[in-house]
Amino acid sequence: MGLFRTTIEIGSLEAGGARHAVPDALVDTGSEYTWVPRHVLEELGITARRKQAFVVADGRRLERDIGYALVRAAGTEAPDLVVFAEPGDMILLGVHSLEGMNLTVDPVRKALVPAGPVIAAVTAWRGAA
C-alpha cells in the first residue's frame, strides 16, 4: 500500500490539555496502534494504564506500556490507545487511530483522506408493546 510519513499531534484528554506535534510518523496500516515516544507522552502528563505484548515485523515479541491520548491527523482527531515507544522503536500512526478519525490512506497521493460515511446497522426502536 505504499508507505509515507505525516505529522501527527498528540494531546492530553484532560480539558484544556497540552498538545505536542510529532513529525515524521510512519502511516502504517499494518500496525494496530499508534506509537509515540515515551518522553512526549510523559511530558503531556499521559500515564501508562497497562502493559501490552506485541509481535513486531521481524517476528520479535516485546512488551510496551499503553495509555490514552487524543490523536490528531489530517484535520481531525479522536481519543485512542497509544503505545509508549522506547528509544529505537518506530513512530507509527496505526490503523486503530485512522479508523477512529474516519480516515483512510490514498496510496497514489500518499495522503490521509476522509473515509466517507461510516457503515452502521440501525434498527427502529418500537418501544414497549
Full set of structural domains in the chain with CATH: 4-114 (2.40.70.10)
pLDDT tens digits along 1-58: 568 999 999 999 987 889 999 999 999 999 999 999 999 999 999 999 999 999 988 8
CB crowding 4-42: b at 16 or more within 10 Å, else e: eebebebbbeeeeeeebebeebebbeebebbbbbbebbe
pLDDT tens digits along 48-84: 999 999 998 889 999 999 999 999 999 999 999 999 9
